[in-house]
Amino acid sequence: MPPGLRPGQALAANDGHELFYTTTVNNYISRLAHLGVIEVNGEDAASFLQAQLTSEIDQLADQQSQFSAWCNPRGRVIANFIVTRSGSHYFLIIPVDLIETICKRLKMFVLRARVSILNRTDEYGCLGVYTDDALTNIDQLVNWDYSAIKVTIPQYPARTILISARNEMPSLLSGMAAHGIEIVEVYRWQLLDIQTGVPWIYPTTSEQLLPQELDLENTGALSYNKGCYPGQEIIARLHFRGQVKRGLYTGQFKSRDSIPVPGMKLFTGAKTRSIGILINSVRESADNIASLAVINIDAAGKQTMVLEDGGVFHPFPRH
């Protein structure tokens, strides 16, 4: 989202239409059913994650969080996460659709390390809290007599994820509602992700994109100063040689039809060649679908872009 734009303001699209962000509730909480939790613990948990993920895990202090990703040896992103530390335990917040795959693949690299990798999604769920007052202290909103973990979204102080035991979610939600935090549908949270350029990888986009193409360096998920991790050599070479040819764009579809799914290809108007791939989408009004897409930088803004099903995509200028 361009700097200075807030929910409720309009942004002119390339074709002259206006996109209205419809998140008008100022303080709200929603169930993030699309996100789950992986727990990594053990004596070697920090060093294990440091050697696998793209961010500086060894700089993560207790009760802090950061964006991160896991790549294959070709430098393509298998999955991305929000990582938070609670003592010697690390929790990875990730789309539910990838949890089983990531748990199994990560365990293949444990070898002799003293690390446990656990799928906690059956036990814990995620709640997203947004408040337009960045100074609001969530501790003052509820009586913290349950086992929720607060995860502040890096770079976005108005947003917090609560990792809560599922049997405690109803009381947590009612406690928030009693303090004026409205319970809303998940699309409002997902719309914030799209507005602020926070992409999420799903099975249909896994292992297809470089972290730079997803703009992960701007969320602090990508370090060029740490030691080796899968794909690090390719990722660093592209960075230092300036050879990244695709980038992440926010945009919209004018459509009342079904929401396009991640992984759908974008083409030129004549559908002669693919120039991008759809990452995430959410309906923001009856007529508009907001989306994130990775697009060839030299094609953005110069050509009409259409999905496989014919929907026209209007990207906004990169900021």
- What backbone phi and psi angles, to 5 degrees, belong to 180? 85, 10
Average pLDDT on 92-119 reads 96
Domain count, the chain: 1
Domain membership flag for residue 272? yes
Query: Residue 306 sits in a domain of what CATH number?
Result: 2.40.30.160
**Residue 318 pLDDT class (50, 70, 90 cuts):** low
The answer to which of 23-37, 142-156, 211-225, 273-287 has the lowest mean pLDDT is: 142-156
Query: What's the chain's average pLDDT?
Result: 85
Domain membership flag for residue 166? no
Question: Do 56 and 43 form a contact (C-beta atoms < 8 A)?
Answer: no
Domain membership flag for residue 227? yes
Residue 41 and residue 118: Cα distance in Å, rounded?
9
For residue 272, give every residue at least 6 positions away whose Cβ sits within 8 Å of its Cβ, in sequence order, or none.
none
Domain membership flag for residue 187? no
pLDDT digits (tens, 9 = 90+) for 25-36: 678 999 999 999
Domain membership flag for residue 248? yes
Give the strand pairing for 149-152 and 10-12: unpaired
Domain membership flag for residue 209? yes
Residue 62 has pLDDT above 80, yes or no: yes
Domain range for 200 is: 10-24+196-315
Give the model's pLDDT for residue 80.
Answer: 98
Residue 162: Cβ within 10 Å count: 24
pLDDT digits (tens, 9 = 90+) for 207-266: 999 999 999 998 999 999 888 999 999 999 988 888 789 999 999 988 777 899 999 999
Domain membership flag for residue 167? no
Give the model's pLDDT for residue 14.
Answer: 33
Domain membership flag for residue 269? yes
pLDDT digits (tens, 9 = 90+) for 13-56: 333 333 334 445 678 999 999 999 999 999 999 999 999 999 99
Residue 64 and residue 279: Cα distance in Å, rounded?
27
Give the model's pLDDT for residue 223.
Answer: 93
pLDDT digits (tens, 9 = 90+) for 67-98: 999 999 999 999 999 999 999 999 999 999 99
Residue 306 has pLDDT above 90, yes or no: no
Q: Hey, CA dihedral for 59, 62, 66, 71, is it positive or negative?
A: positive
